[in-house]
Structure 1
């Protein structure tokens, strides 16, 4: 199941994207990979699953953001832990988190539980950034809808959004 399918399923499980997301919905997002086989996965399979390039996966590994095992031939072998971390990393990158912040976050994770308060602070700050971006995108959507209506086009809800 590719990440697009997982995201479609996860978004469908969230009843109202305009309101706060429930803890149960978050747990469903975290457990969304339960439909996957047990792995391990090759770099090509992982890249396809996450809809990223193999180059991006190697880059994340080179930066120390994810640890990847090797099979008996020396080829990369991605397990569930690596896959979960990569899902998180790709979501954070998609939402605009800079690589240096991701590196710092992963360093904190690797240090252990004593860094939870700092990680929480980082995520709270990033959440505020995402919320600001959502407001800005909402205004951009309204301006686009206005222009579409001006030109006689149909405006309104877009299925799936």
Structure 2
């Protein structure tokens, strides 16, 4: 078991962020008899999962729902799977848009390279 300072260092999240995550229901640390937060190594894995989930662009509301379902137990796996599938759909849309933007840039770069090649092979007119 570890207290919040050590947990903060191991998860690379600030203490304020960890307190916020607890406030909104994303994490549920146990408490000592003195009411200090305690975390275990499984909590590190959970926070790392949350950090990765956040990188997918998922909303805090969906993260909260996912956390509620996780804490409710394995009978909620179908609903958790649905949440992940919905986020996958969103990421696929973003990837398609990003690929379209990359294709646009590549076409423009090809055009500019062609113009450069033509202008470097054509002698420059004399300067007056």
* Selected match of 2:62 from 81, 101, 115: 101
| Distance change (3 Å), C-alpha of 1:135 and 1:45 | farther
| Alignment match, 1:157 | none
Correspondence list, 1:1-161, <5 A? 40-70=1-31, 75-144=36-105
- Aligned-residue offset at 1:89: 1.0
CA contact (8 A) 2:10 2:44 kept: no
User: Bigger relative contact order, structure 1 or 2, given CA contacts below 8 A and separation 6+?
Assistant: 2
Inter-partner Cα distance in structure 2 for 1:122 and 1:105:
7
How much is the aligned-residue C-alpha RMSD, in angstroms?
A: 2.9
Q: How many positions carry a matched residue from both structures?
A: 113
Inter-partner Cα distance in structure 2 for 1:149 and 1:45:
52
Question: TM-score scaled to structure 2, two decimals?
Answer: 0.67
Post-superposition Cα deviations, 1:80-115, rounded to whole Å, max 9, x if no partner, equal: 111111111111111111111111111112222222
- Aligned-residue offset at 1:120: 1.1
Inter-partner Cα distance in structure 1 for 2:74 and 2:97:
35
Unaligned segments of structure 1, at least 5 residues: 1-39, 153-161
Q: More helix per residue: 1 or 2? A: 2
Structure 1 runs (4+) greater than 4 angstroms displaced: 70-75, 142-152
